[in-house]
């Protein structure tokens, strides 16, 4: 039997700003359908790592293989087209548009219909239907006609995830999906992310600080510290890893 | 808070067209019809400009370049080739404007924000200098007079209806555009270009596209104006012309599709009334601009529609957003 | 074209470069510190020139006193404009566009105020008597005033550089360009700093207006010519690049000075040409280090 190929593979990824190494020789593999979390103290280089995967930053050295293709040197547009999606730490929305249009513009982009100048947006049935489906699965359908800036903070973060989903990604990167939420909201979001993972056949990598979410959701954990990969493995192992406990978890768990 | 441009309401457009089509029918003087034609042409110019500024967030200070090209296309063709060349000349001016916008767009859309604005200004002034100094060809500061549209259209009333029809059709098209997926992505470009890249769309490509479209309709406005005034002048290329159309848009409301049109009507009227009494016109429009920018950034139409939505006690924003760390 | 002719044109180019640089550096300073683009910067140049004319030609005052007063008046006016108007739109959505529109309204208002006070005809301002002669070096005759202007320009460059690097005010100005929030945490009055910086830059523009007045007549509407020229300098030099602006001013000054003799009719087009070529081949500015630009 042929072994399953990893969907994402980082090989010796390094990036420095001035003299500061923000990503230091990071290598790991993510398998298809895996739910993986990246944790680490503030400034460990988690978001920087995401920025390199999605083409916002160009690594100094190393390779990023997505389905066997190197992403280094490609533009964000090309990387999105290959099937990498991303939701942001601070929801990145079109605040003056309706909730529906926020998703619909993404659906239209996916269908390559954003150059159509003559028919009103609502005439595009396929994109509209798809957008409503996504709003439904996020539980935001009742706000469809509201403007995005009228949404509560937690809902804005969901909408951000929705925009990413509309682009039909294979791999979805979530940057702190539960930050700024109350414990109840976190729980709901956690369950929602799990449902989305199932419904949309996703491979997930997320950055998280909330340990309940980390251990309640992730199948594998990677710990970054000062740009280096400190440890990786299943959650139970990481929980027992002495290095991790002293370096990071110590503050919160011990 | 970014406000969404109201998608073009066909009813507004119809009312507008009916009102303006009545102008020659009612017992108006030629002068009043001329004013109405000015409102139409400036309205088209302002709506085209606002596709750039209000919709896409690109503040161009050089649209006079395209306005002038349309006008001089028609005017110079009539001067050198004869009256019959009025419409072909206008078409030539429009094509030239589109090609120029395509070429210049490659240069100036590389930079954003203030520098985009200043480069449009610089290239606009370059165009003015060329027209101003190339006296042997353009007539320089003297401009060109006696540009009378050919045949049937030499009749002022018939030409007025032609202007109305072309302006109406253009505004209808731009209204459709702003409600279409293309308009939606352009508004998204203004609000969050970073996210647009993440939709797999190219920001600059979209900006380039609307820059060309806007310039094309601007040139049409210029061409039409040459037949309204029977003359062209290098001032059409001058930076104050670009500034004028910006003022109209701001005054009417850049967040509303019909705002710039209303702004054009107000400014043309004020100019007519006040212009007779004072030579300090730029002091007045400067003060209007100052007040609008500081106190009423939504513009007249924007403030009205704001009042309208407040009236029925519409639900207010739910919560404040907090910035993540 | 003989040697002395070339030298004379070089000097005249240097003089123009000095004016351009003095204006562009103020523009760059304001933009660097406060992220504000002062579209009306050229109008402060114009106001300075008129106030200088008033003192010198109308009231018969000493040239240097007129220079000082022109600068002071423009600077005060700049501070008033910043304090009462510009400040109110900081942080608004689409701020950049509104800054331009607001400063555009300053241009319109100042242009007409100048016409109200001084009329529309050209005004002239005499050179200071001590500098009205010419210097002869090895058979080449150069106007003393041009040499003095170049010297003053150099002195301002050195002084500005020293102030920015060695005084508390200079450090605050440089630091607020980096991080406004951090500064206010440290107890620096950031809004006041901005007003002051605006005042200094507009005073510089006003003084340049007086300095330039004996060489070019004083007219309303000079503001827009000047702003476009100095904008070209800023684009060429690279945004916020002090030395880049200096080199770019030199380039534009010299190009203009030679073009004016060789192809007088089309001379003004050359600076646009240089700008267009720069944008095509090195959009980040001629003298800026190559940076990764975002797509």
- A250 CB-contact burial (10 Å; exposed 0-12 / middle 13-18 / buried 19+): exposed
Q: What is the pLDDT of residue B312?
A: 58
* Cα B16 from Cα B30, distance rounded (Å): 20
CB atoms within 10 A of CB C19: 23
Among A113, A135, A168, the domain boundary falls at A168
Helix axes C3-34, C222-237, angle to 10 degrees: 80
User: ∠ CA(B39), CA(B42), CA(B48), 5° rounding?
Assistant: 135
Ranges A43-47, B321-325, C7-11: which has the least confidence: B321-325
- Domain annotation covers residue C214: yes
* B171 DSSP 8-state letter: H
* Cα C226 from Cα C42, distance rounded (Å): 5
Sign of CA dihedral A109, A113, A114, A115: positive
DSSP chain C: --HHHHHHHHHHHHHHHHHHHHHHHHHHHHHHHH----TTHHHHHHHHHHHHHIIIIIS---HHHHHHHHHHHHHHHHHHHHHHTGGGGTT-TTHHHHHHHHHHHHHHHHHHHHHHHH-SS-B--PPPGGGSSEEEETTEEEEHHHHHHHHHHHHHHHHHHHHHHHSHHHHHHHHHHH-HHHHHHTT--HHHHHHHHHHHHHHHHHHHHHHHTTTS-B-TTHHHHHHHHHHHHHHHH-TT-HHHHHHHHHHHHHHHHHHHHHSGGGTTHHHHHHHHHHHHH-TT-TTSPP-PPP-
CB atoms within 10 A of CB C9: 17
Domains of chain C: total: 1
Average pLDDT over residues A30-57: 89
Q: Which two tokens stand for residue B164?
A: 């109305």
Interchain CB distance below 8 Å, B187 and A97 = yes
Judge whether A188 and A221 are in contact, CB under 8 Å.
Answer: no
* A206 DSSP 8-state letter: E
- Domain annotation covers residue B5: no
Q: Which of residues 197-226 of B touch C (CB under 8 A)?
A: 197
Specify whether A178 is located in the same domain as A72.
yes
Judge whether B132 and B140 are in contact, CB under 8 Å.
Answer: yes
Q: Which residue of A has its CA nearest to C294?
A: A56
Check pLDDT > 90 for residue C274.
no
* A246 DSSP 8-state letter: I
- The secondary structure element, H or E, covering residue A22 is strand A20-30
What is the distance, to the nearest Å, from the Cα of residue B44 to the centroid of all Cα atoms in its chain? 5
Specify whether A233 is located in the same domain as A130.
no
Q: Which two tokens stand for residue A178?
A: 């539960």
Q: Which two tokens stand for residue C26?
A: 């103020």
Interface membership of B287 toward C (CB under 8 Å): yes
- Token pair 């008046």 is found at C73
Interchain CB distance below 8 Å, A92 and B183 = no
- Domain annotation covers residue C281: no
Facing residues of B144 across strands? B232
Higher pLDDT, B29 or A135: A135
- Domain annotation covers residue C259: no
Q: How far is residue C218 from each of residues B71, C210, C212, measured CA to CA in Å?
A: 33, 9, 9
Facing residues of A14 across strands? A61
Show the domain range for C62: 15-221
> What confidence tens digit (pLDDT) does each residue in A158-209 have?
999 999 999 999 999 999 988 888 888 888 889 999 999 999 999 999 998 8
Interface membership of A115 toward B (CB under 8 Å): yes
SS3 category, A23: strand
* Cα B320 from Cα B299, distance rounded (Å): 25
* Cα A206 from Cα A160, distance rounded (Å): 14
Show the domain range for A37: 1-83+171-254
Check pLDDT > 60 for residue B6.
no
Q: Which residues of C touch A76 (CB under 8 A)?
A: 295
Specify whether A66 is located in the same domain as A130.
no
- Domain annotation covers residue B268: no
Domains of chain B: total: 1
* Cα B273 from Cα B49, distance rounded (Å): 25
Specify whether A184 is located in the same domain as A77.
yes
Average pLDDT over residues A97-102: 95
**What is the four-CA torsion angle of B97, B99, B103, B109, rounded to 10 degrees?**
60
Specify whether A78 is located in the same domain as A175.
yes
What are the φ and ψ backbone dihedral angles of A192, each rounded to 5 degrees? -65, -45
Q: Give the one of B122, B286, B289 whose C-beta lies nearest to C232's C-beta.
A: B122
Show the domain range for B41: 10-236
DSSP B73-103: HHHHHHHHH-GGGHHHHHHHHHHHHHHHHHH
SS3 category, A180: coil
Q: Give the one of B110, B121, B130 whose C-beta lies nearest to C279's C-beta.
A: B110
When the pLDDT of each residue in chain A is averaged and rounded to a whole number, the result is 89
Interchain CB distance below 8 Å, C295 and A58 = no
- Domain annotation covers residue A89: no
Specify whether A189 is located in the same domain as A218.
yes
* Cα B253 from Cα B297, distance rounded (Å): 8
Residues 6+ apart with CB under 8 A from B283: C108, C109, C112, C113, C116
- A144 CB-contact burial (10 Å; exposed 0-12 / middle 13-18 / buried 19+): middle
Interchain CB distance below 8 Å, C228 and B114 = no
- Domain annotation covers residue A88: no
Among A168, A196, A216, the domain boundary falls at A168
DSSP B6-49: BPPPHHHHHHHHHHHHHTTTSS--HHHHHHHHHHHHHHHHHHHH
Which of C83, C54, C52 has its CA nearest to residue C69? C52
Interchain CB distance below 8 Å, A105 and B184 = yes
Residue A220: HSE in the Cβ half-sphere, 13 Å Cα cutoff:
16
Interface membership of C117 toward B (CB under 8 Å): no
Q: Which residues of B touch A54 (CB under 8 A)?
A: 198
**Terminal-to-terminal C-alpha distance of chain A:** 44
* Cα B111 from Cα B113, distance rounded (Å): 7
Higher pLDDT, C272 or B193: B193
Residue A87: HSE in the Cβ half-sphere, 13 Å Cα cutoff:
28
Give the percent of chain C with pLDDT over 90.
Answer: 31
**What is the four-CA torsion angle of A136, A140, A141, A142, rounded to 10 degrees?**
150
Ranges B185-194, B208-217, C87-96: which has the least confidence: C87-96
Specify whether A69 is located in the same domain as A189.
yes
Specify whether A127 is located in the same domain as A52.
no
- Domain annotation covers residue B251: no
Check pLDDT > 70 for residue A253.
no
CB pairs below 8 Å between B and C: how many? 105
Interchain CB distance below 8 Å, B194 and A104 = no
Q: Which residues of B touch A104 (CB under 8 A)?
A: 184
Which of C171, C205, C178, C198 has its CA nearest to residue C99? C198
- Region class of C288: left (phi > 0), else alpha (psi between -120 and 50), else beta: beta
Interface membership of C93 toward A (CB under 8 Å): no
What is the distance, to the nearest Å, from the Cα of residue C159 to the centroid of all Cα atoms in its chain? 16
When the pLDDT of each residue in chain B is averaged and rounded to a whole number, the result is 88
Interchain CB distance below 8 Å, A76 and C292 = no
Q: Which chains touch C (3 or more CB pairs under 8 A)?
A: A, B
Interchain CB distance below 8 Å, B283 and C228 = no
- Domain annotation covers residue B219: yes
Q: Which chains touch A (3 or more CB pairs under 8 A)?
A: B, C
* A248 DSSP 8-state letter: I
Q: pLDDT class for B7, splitting at 50, 70, 90?
A: very low
Q: What is the pLDDT of residue B322?
A: 35
Q: Which two tokens stand for residue B133?
A: 């100094």
Interface membership of A58 toward C (CB under 8 Å): yes
Q: Which residues of C touch B61 (CB under 8 A)?
A: 100
Interchain CB distance below 8 Å, B286 and C112 = yes
- Domain annotation covers residue A59: yes
- Domain annotation covers residue B253: no
Interface membership of A54 toward B (CB under 8 Å): yes
Interface membership of B4 toward C (CB under 8 Å): no
Q: Which residue of A has its CA nearest to C295?
A: A75
* Cα A9 from Cα A253, distance rounded (Å): 30
Specify whether A79 is located in the same domain as A186.
yes
Q: Which of residues 234-253 of B touch C (CB under 8 A)?
A: 239, 243, 246, 250
Check pLDDT > 70 for residue B135.
yes
Q: Which residues of B touch C43 (CB under 8 A)?
A: none
Interchain CB distance below 8 Å, B280 and C112 = yes
- Region class of A31: left (phi > 0), else alpha (psi between -120 and 50), else beta: beta
- Token pair 């007129």 is found at C66
CB atoms within 10 A of CB A178: 24
Specify whether A15 is located in the same domain as A50.
yes
Q: What is the pTM assigned to this prediction?
A: 0.89
Specify whether A76 is located in the same domain as A123.
no
Q: Which residues of B touch A76 (CB under 8 A)?
A: 197-198
* Cα B180 from Cα C159, distance rounded (Å): 57
Higher pLDDT, C160 or B81: B81
Q: Give the one of A96, A153, A176 whose C-beta lies nearest to B3's C-beta.
A: A96
Q: Which residue of C has its CA nearest to A57?
A: C294
For chain C, give the longest Cα–Cα distance: 62
ipTM score for this prediction: 0.88
Facing residues of B5 across strands? none
Which of A61, A15, A64, A72 has its CA nearest to residue A226? A15
Q: What is the CATH number of the domain that holds A176?
A: 3.40.50.300
- Domain annotation covers residue C236: no
Check pLDDT > 50 for residue B319.
no
Ranges A49-63, A102-116, B172-186, C164-178: which has the least confidence: C164-178
Q: Which two tokens stand for residue A193?
A: 């992310």
- Domain annotation covers residue B311: no
Q: Which residues of B touch C37 (CB under 8 A)?
A: 114, 118
Judge whether B164 and B21 are in contact, CB under 8 Å.
Answer: yes
Interface membership of B123 toward C (CB under 8 Å): yes
> What confidence tens digit (pLDDT) does each residue in B37-55 have?
999 999 999 999 999 999 9
Q: What is the pLDDT of residue B177?
A: 94
- A72 CB-contact burial (10 Å; exposed 0-12 / middle 13-18 / buried 19+): middle
* Cα B230 from Cα B234, distance rounded (Å): 14
- Domain annotation covers residue B254: no
Q: Which residues of C touch B282 (CB under 8 A)?
A: 108-109, 111-112
Domains of chain A: total: 2
CB pairs below 8 Å between A and C: how many? 3
Interchain CB distance below 8 Å, B107 and C280 = yes
Specify whether A158 is located in the same domain as A198.
no
> What confidence tens digit (pLDDT) does each residue in B189-203 have?
999 998 999 898 999
- Domain annotation covers residue B278: no
Q: pLDDT class for C239, splitting at 50, 70, 90?
A: low
Interface membership of A122 toward C (CB under 8 Å): no
> What confidence tens digit (pLDDT) does each residue in B202-216 have?
999 999 999 999 999
Average pLDDT over residues C90-108: 85
């Amino acid at each position: 039997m042929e072994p399953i190929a990893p969907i994402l593979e980082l090989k010796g990824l390094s990036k420095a700003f001035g003299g500061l190494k923000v990503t230091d020789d990071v290598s790991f593999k993510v398998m298809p359908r895996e739910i993986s979390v990246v944790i680490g103290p503030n400034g460990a280089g988690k978001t920087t790592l995401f920025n390199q995967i999605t083409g916002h930053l160009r690594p100094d050295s190393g390779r990023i293989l997505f389905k066997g293709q190197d992403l280094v040197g490609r533009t964000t547009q090309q990387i999105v087209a290959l099937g990498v999606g991303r939701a942001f730490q601070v929801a990145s929305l079109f605040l003056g548009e309706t909730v529906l249009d926020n998703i619909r513009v993404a659906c239209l982009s996916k269908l390559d219909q954003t150059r159509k100048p003559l028919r009103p947006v609502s005439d595009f049935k396929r994109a509209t239907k798809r957008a409503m489906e996504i709003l439904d699965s996020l539980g935001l359908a009742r706000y469809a006609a509201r403007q995005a800036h009228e949404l509560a903070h937690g809902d804005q973060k969901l909408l951000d995830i929705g925009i990413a989903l509309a682009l039909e990604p294979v791999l979805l990167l979530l940057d702190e999906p539960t930050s700024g939420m109350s414990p109840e909201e976190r729980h709901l979001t956690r369950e929602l992310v799990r449902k989305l993972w199932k419904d949309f056949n996703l491979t997930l990598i997320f950055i998280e600080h909330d340990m309940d979410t980390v251990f309640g959701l992730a199948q594998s954990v990677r710990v970054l510290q000062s740009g280096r990969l400190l440890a990786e493995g299943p959650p139970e192992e990481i929980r027992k890893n002495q290095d991790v406990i002293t370096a990071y978890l110590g503050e919160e768990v011990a | 808070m970014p406000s969404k441009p109201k998608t073009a309401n066909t009813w507004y457009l119809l009312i507008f067209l009916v009102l303006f089509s009545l102008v020659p029918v009612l017992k108006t003087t030629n002068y009043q019809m001329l004013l109405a034609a000015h409102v139409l042409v400036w309205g088209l110019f302002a709506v085209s400009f606002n596709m750039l500024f209000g919709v896409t967030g690109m503040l161009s200070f050089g649209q006079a370049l395209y306005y002038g090209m349309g006008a001089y296309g028609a005017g110079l063709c009539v001067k050198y080739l004869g009256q019959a060349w009025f419409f072909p000349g206008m078409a030539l001016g429009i094509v030239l404007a589109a090609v120029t916008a395509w070429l210049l767009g490659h240069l100036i859309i590389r930079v954003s924000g203030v520098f985009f604005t200043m480069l449009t200004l610089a290239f606009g002034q370059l165009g003015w200098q060329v027209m101003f100094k190339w006296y042997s060809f353009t007539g320089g500061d003297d401009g060109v007079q006696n540009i009378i549209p050919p045949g049937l259209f030499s009749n002022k009333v018939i030409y007025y209806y032609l202007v109305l029809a072309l302006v109406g059709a253009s505004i209808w098209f731009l209204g459709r555009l702003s409600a279409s997926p293309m308009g939606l992505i352009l508004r998204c470009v203004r609000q969050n270009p970073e996210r647009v890249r993440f939709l797999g769309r190219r920001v600059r490509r979209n900006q380039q596209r609307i820059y060309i479209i806007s310039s094309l309709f601007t040139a049409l406005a210029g061409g039409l104006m040459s037949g309204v005034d029977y003359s062209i002048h290098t001032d059409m290329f001058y930076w104050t012309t670009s500034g004028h159309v910006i003022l109209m848009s701001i005054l009417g409301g850049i967040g509303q599709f019909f705002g710039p049109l209303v702004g054009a009507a107000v400014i043309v009227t004020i100019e007519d009334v006040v212009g007779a009494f004072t030579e300090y016109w730029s002091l007045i429009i400067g003060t209007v601009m100052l007040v609008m920018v500081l106190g009423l950034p939504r513009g007249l139409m924007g403030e009205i529609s704001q009042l309208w939505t407040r009236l029925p006690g519409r639900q207010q924003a739910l919560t404040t957003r907090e910035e993540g760390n | 074209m003989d040697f002395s002719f070339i030298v004379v044109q070089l000097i005249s180019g240097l003089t123009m470069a000095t004016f351009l640089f003095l204006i562009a550096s103020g523009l760059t300073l304001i933009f660097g510190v406060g992220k504000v683009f002062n579209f009306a910067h050229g109008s402060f140049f114009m106001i300075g020139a008129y106030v200088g004319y008033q003192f010198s030609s109308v009231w018969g005052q000493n040239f240097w006193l007129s220079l000082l007063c022109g600068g002071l008046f423009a600077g005060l006016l700049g501070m008033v404009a910043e304090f009462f108007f510009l400040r109110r739109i900081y942080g608004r959505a689409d701020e950049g566009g509104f800054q331009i529109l607001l400063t555009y309204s300053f241009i319109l208002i100042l242009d007409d105020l100048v016409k109200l006070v001084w009329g529309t005809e050209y005004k002239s301002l005499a050179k200071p008597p001590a500098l009205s002669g010419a210097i002869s070096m090895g058979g080449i005759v150069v106007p003393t005033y041009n040499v003095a202007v170049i010297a003053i320009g150099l002195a301002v460059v050195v002084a500005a550089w020293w102030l920015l690097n060695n005084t508390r005010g200079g450090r605050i100005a440089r630091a607020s360009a980096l991080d406004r929030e951090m500064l206010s945490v440290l107890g620096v009055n950031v809004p006041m700093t901005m007003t002051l910086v605006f005042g200094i830059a507009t005073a510089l523009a006003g003084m340049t207006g007086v300095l330039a007045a004996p060489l070019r007549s004083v007219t309303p509407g000079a503001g827009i010519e000047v702003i476009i020229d100095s904008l070209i300098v800023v684009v060429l030099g690279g945004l916020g690049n002090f030395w880049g602006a200096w080199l770019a001013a030199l380039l534009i000054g010299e190009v203009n000075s030679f073009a004016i003799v060789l192809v007088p009719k089309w001379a003004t087009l050359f600076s646009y040409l240089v700008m267009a070529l720069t944008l095509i081949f090195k959009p980040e500015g001629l003298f800026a280090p190559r940076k990764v630009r975002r797509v």
